[in-house]
Structure 1
Amino acid sequence: MWGNHILSVLSVCTLVLDLVPVFRSRSYAFQSNQGTTFESETDRQHFHNMASVMQEANRLRKVMVEGKEAAMGCWQMIPGANVARTLARTGVDWVLVDCEHGNIDDAAMHDAVPAIAACGVSPIVRIPDNQGWMVKRALDSGAHGVLVPLLYTAEGAEQLYPNYCTNRKTKEAVENVNAIAAVPGIDVLFVGPFDLGNNIGHPVVAGVMHENLHSTIAKVLKAANSAGKKAGIFCTSGEQAKGYADQGFHMISVITDMHILPQSVMAAVNKAKGQEDGPKLTGPYGK
């Protein structure tokens, strides 16, 4: 199942609750050797050795295949190779470079992806729109997976190249979750609770998630498990991430750079002033 395609994640909402199919991760340059001719057996062996090395370097896939624990990651929204490198050195398995809602353009993406990979961590890219050329740009940069927004149906998922993730942003994606999960090449259904809540008519209000949102998230997890796929979710704190890991989610975004930076600085400054620590490092949605 994990041999040839890139990790596919399916998300059910905009960036945050999207039923995103993340396609199995593998190098774009070594997608398949069907029809490939080699001048010598040495060249053929070199090809297979390189493909093997690149697959072994895919930390996200390795963790998910082993299945011993959830693959923990974080979100990069601030541009810069140093930011990417710093996030990748925090013990995560993957870092998502957000080119849709973050401040990261094409050039910054090409800086971030190799910086993350050089740390032995899987770089995942969320592209700005559901367009094939954007997928190619992300894959050419070396991304282990691509998150694609604005994907609504199984038919749309089938048209995507099995080397990137896809983002679902509407209620329609939730209704089609079982069909989408069954699409070959899709390996992960990835949930973004904020957008998911908005799109099903139950937004997160004052940090509280509606029961229907909880049940919808559970539906995504069940659909993934039933299809033999993985389930992922976007969180905004370690506490939330641990809770969803305990529920059985396999790929979890713990925090974003734009959340953790102000929260951490605020807590340190308040402590220096002898004031309360300020807001805990927990996300805006809770139990």
Structure 2
Amino acid sequence: MPAPTNKFKAAILNGEKQIGLWMGLANAYTAEICAGAGFDWLVIDGEHAPNDLQSILGQLQALSNYPVNPVVRVPIGETWLIKQVLDLGAQTILVPMVESAEQAKELVRAIKYPPAGVRGVGAALARASQFNRIGDYVQTANDQTCLIVQVESQVGLEAIEEIGQIDGVDGIFIGPADLAADMGYLGRPGEQVVKDAVLKGIEKIVATGKAAGILSADKAFARACLDQRASFVAVGTDVTLFSSATSKLAGEFVGDDG
């Protein structure tokens, strides 16, 4: 029996639109709520959310009963960490702060078993292989792992063409918040010059034949990215949705003498 089919990878490689949500609440219970909402993909964020291996595992387990594709963003592109997250059962890995083709090549090696890469062979202990019950897991896993590299600096944007030539990079994701900061607009990703850079970046990604992705809670801009042929677009975060809803409800009653 082969490794499970990575439906997210298949979809973005076919150019199918995938609408997602970012998850930063670091909780399996809220992840399951998000799983039933109808999104195509959900990001378990290990970079800016307080996630560790145990909480990532719990969220992967919670999502497994739903027709939604999990993507795990690791905090940094270290081979040892990527190996652990893959063994937990994640098939799609998002790596932040990628700025060169050389860096992308090393990340491809990190997610692939030899001879294509350096992923450690310990599948007998791993949830990814259903604890060695998937007999052909190690022979077939490479085809189902999906690497998304995140460019979020001007240097990264300039390297898109080179990164896009690397076999094993399945998608390139632009991080508008860090890009805005790098461009001198800290905390202002909505500046038109930043948006223009993002849209130009998406155009360059698509031209390489790779799938393009973005996160934007600005609905109009998210649609503009889709119009630019971005394949996978996250349109909000669980943290912001919860924060906004609770503040709105409190504002309707707190201090109301009526």
Distance 1:254 1:274, change over 3 A: farther
1:112 pairs with 2:95: no
- AA in 2 matched with 1:194: A
Q: Report percent identity of matched pairs.
A: 26
Give ranges in structure 2 of 5+ residues lacking alignment: 112-144
Question: Normalised by the size of structure 2, how large is the TM-score?
Answer: 0.77
Query: Take 2:58 and 2:190, find their aligned partners in 1: how far apart are those partners?
Result: 37
Residue 192 of structure 2, aligned match among 187, 210, 217: 210
SS at match of 2:209: coil
Question: Normalised by the size of structure 1, how large is the TM-score?
Answer: 0.70
1:269 pairs with 2:250: yes
SS at match of 2:170: strand
Query: Take 2:218 and 2:91, find their aligned partners in 1: how far apart are those partners?
Result: 24
Residue 223 of structure 1, aligned match among 204, 215, 234: 204
Query: Take 1:154 and 1:270, find their aligned partners in 2: how far apart are those partners?
Result: 49
Give ranges in structure 1 of 5+ residues lacking alignment: 1-46, 276-287
SS at match of 1:160: helix
Matched length: 220
Shift of 1:214: 2.5
Shift of 1:85: 0.8
SS at match of 1:97: strand
Residue 63 of structure 1, aligned match among 11, 22, 30: 11
- AA in 1 matched with 2:192: H
- AA in 2 matched with 1:229: K
Shift of 1:247: 3.0
Shift of 1:257: 1.1
Correspondence 1:1-287 to 2 at 5 A: 47=1, 50-51=2-3, 54-55=4-5, 58-68=6-16, 70-161=17-108, 162=111, 163=145, 164-205=147-188, 208-211=190-193, 213-272=194-253
Query: Take 2:162 and 2:43, find their aligned partners in 1: how far apart are those partners?
Result: 26
SS at match of 1:101: coil
The CA deviation string for residues 242-268 of structure 1, in whole angstroms up to 9 with x for no partner, is 332233211011111111101112223
SS at match of 1:186: coil
Please provide the CA RMSD for this pair: 2.2
Query: Take 2:232 and 2:167, find their aligned partners in 1: how far apart are those partners?
Result: 19
- AA in 2 matched with 1:190: F
> For the Cα contact (< 8 Å) 2:151–2:172, is it kept in 1?
no
SS at match of 2:89: coil
> For the Cα contact (< 8 Å) 2:46–2:52, is it kept in 1?
yes
Higher normalized contact order (CA 8 Å, seq sep 6+, divided by chain length): 1
Query: Take 2:77 and 2:238, find their aligned partners in 1: how far apart are those partners?
Result: 24
Shift of 1:160: 1.5
> For the Cα contact (< 8 Å) 1:122–1:144, is it kept in 2?
no
> For the Cα contact (< 8 Å) 1:204–1:210, is it kept in 2?
no
Query: Take 1:112 and 1:150, find their aligned partners in 2: how far apart are those partners?
Result: 24
Query: Take 2:220 and 2:61, find their aligned partners in 1: how far apart are those partners?
Result: 30
Distance 1:272 1:263, change over 3 A: same
Query: Take 2:173 and 2:150, find their aligned partners in 1: how far apart are those partners?
Result: 8
- AA in 1 matched with 2:60: V
- AA in 2 matched with 1:209: E
The CA deviation string for residues 205-230 of structure 1, in whole angstroms up to 9 with x for no partner, is 3x74132x233212221222211111
Shift of 1:108: 0.3
Query: Take 2:27 and 2:238, find their aligned partners in 1: how far apart are those partners?
Result: 12
Query: Take 1:169 and 1:241, find their aligned partners in 2: how far apart are those partners?
Result: 17
SS at match of 1:108: helix
Shift of 1:239: 4.2
